[in-house]
């Protein structure tokens, strides 16, 4: 079911509110993907797979790219009793090579023409070992990304389920056309080495974010028990950071951005959360979902050891 209505939350304009139901759970989709991959490997087929979501957001699917004809692949799968309803097959002359790095802070577009939508969040990996990026769940799940001159936009598939409501505002996208990296735009040499969950964050900590519209801004945590205007009667689990007077903390389009700590004197980043919104379009503060809450999606943060 898709229910669309225009609403303004916390001053960030959102042109839809949606409730989505997938025909297959992520667990069942991953099981089916494993079965498909095992079968094609035993047949000696050169292939790549990915999971995604149809444009109508009602059906999850597995995309199989192969050099063999699509009809041949479907016949192999069909003879083995695999339900082809959840399979899309595309014949390709060559497998795509990664176009560029994708990590936190870049523009995610709602069309292939590059119309701005939200911001890419931290790099993450799901239980099947598939890498991707996080963003806010109130953003359109059908998003596109391009790096560099912006002339080649690629869809980055949405992976069901997302978490939207209560304490959560997060979704996960795979991005096989890009190299996923545990970096954040605006921090050129630093890497994400770990995370502070909600219970490790304290009033007065300086939290920074990098949004595609307002760039890098930082503010001090002023409350650990904020409510999200999207869910005004929901639990007070949201964290608020307030910037100095005169600083625009966040703008519309920054949603989904990575929020992090950067310890003084150390060139490392510690993940804090996923940006959800602010108090108005030109915000004096921003609020975010604590990073440990991404576990609801069955994904984990991509980090590297600090040395």
Q: CB of 124 within 8 A of CB of 300? A: yes
Please indicate, yes or no, if residue 300 is contained in any of the structural domains.
no
Indicate if 151 and 244 belong to the same structural domain: no
- β pairing state of 206-211 and 250-251: unpaired
Relative orientation angle of helices 26-42 and 70-79, to the nearest 10 degrees: 110
DSSP string, 203-262: TT-EEEEEETTTEEEEEEEEEEEEPPTTSTTS-S-EEEEEPPTT---EETT-TT-EEEE-
| CATH code of 230's domain | 2.40.10.10
For residue 57, what pLDDT is reported? Answer: 44
pLDDT in tens, 135-191: 999 998 888 886 654 556 777 888 877 999 999 999 999 887 788 889 999 998 899
Indicate if 137 and 218 belong to the same structural domain: no
Instruction: Name the domain boundary from 157, 183, 209.
Output: 183
Residues in the chain: 307
- What distances in angstroms separate CA 28 from CA 35, 62, 137, one per listed residue? 11, 11, 21
> What integer is the mean pLDDT of 39-51?
82
pLDDT in tens, 237-257: 999 999 998 898 998 889 999
Instruction: Name the domain boundary from 137, 168, 183.
Output: 183
DSSP-derived letter for residue 271 is E
> What pTM, to 2 d.p., does this model score?
0.70
Indicate if 177 and 200 belong to the same structural domain: no
* Burial grade of 12 (CB within 10 A; 0-12, 13-18, 19 or more): buried
Please indicate, yes or no, if residue 176 is contained in any of the structural domains.
yes
What are the beta bridge partners of residue 254?
none
Whole domain around residue 119: which residue ranges? 97-183
Specify whether the backbone of 58 is left (phi greater than 0), alpha (psi in -120 to 50) or beta: alpha
Instruction: Name the domain boundary from 123, 149, 183.
Output: 183
Q: How many domains does the chain have?
A: 2
Please indicate, yes or no, if residue 63 is contained in any of the structural domains.
no
What are the beta bridge partners of residue 222?
none
- β pairing state of 7-9 and 12-14: antiparallel
């Amino acid at each position: 079911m898709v229910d669309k209505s225009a609403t303004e939350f916390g001053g960030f304009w959102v042109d839809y509110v949606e409730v989505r139901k997938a025909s297959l759970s992520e667990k069942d989709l991953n099981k089916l993907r494993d079965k498909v991959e095992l079968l094609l490997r035993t047949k000696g087929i050169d292939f790549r797979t990915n999971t995604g979501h149809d444009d109508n957001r009602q059906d999850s699917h597995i995309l199989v790219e192969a050099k063999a004809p699509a009809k041949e692949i479907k016949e192999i799968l069909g003879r083995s009793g695999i339900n082809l309803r959840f399979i899309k097959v595309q014949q390709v002359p060559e497998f795509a090579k990664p176009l560029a790095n994708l990590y936190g802070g870049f523009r995610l577009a709602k069309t292939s023409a590059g119309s701005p939508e939200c911001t890419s969040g931290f790099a993450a990996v799901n239980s099947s070992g598939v890498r991707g990026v996080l963003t806010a769940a109130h953003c359109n799940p059908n998003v596109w990304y391009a790096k560099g001159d912006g002339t080649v936009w690629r869809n980055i598939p949405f992976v069901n389920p997302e978490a939207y409501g209560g304490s959560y505002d997060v979704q996960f996208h795979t991005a096989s056309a890009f190299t996923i990296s545990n970096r954040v735009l605006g921090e050129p040499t630093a890497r994400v080495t770990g995370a502070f969950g909600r219970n490790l964050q304290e009033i007065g900590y300086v939290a920074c974010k990098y949004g595609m519209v307002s760039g890098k801004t930082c503010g001090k945590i002023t409350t650990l028990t904020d409510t999200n205007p999207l869910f005004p009667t929901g639990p007070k689990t949201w964290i608020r950071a307030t910037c100095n007077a005169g600083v625009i903390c966040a703008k519309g389009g920054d949603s989904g951005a990575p929020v992090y700590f950067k310890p003084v004197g150390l060139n490392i980043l510690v993940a804090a959360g996923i940006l959800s919104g602010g108090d108005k379009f030109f915000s004096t503060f921003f609020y975010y979902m604590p990073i440990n809450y991404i576990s609801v999606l069955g994904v984990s943060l991509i980090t590297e050891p600090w040395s």
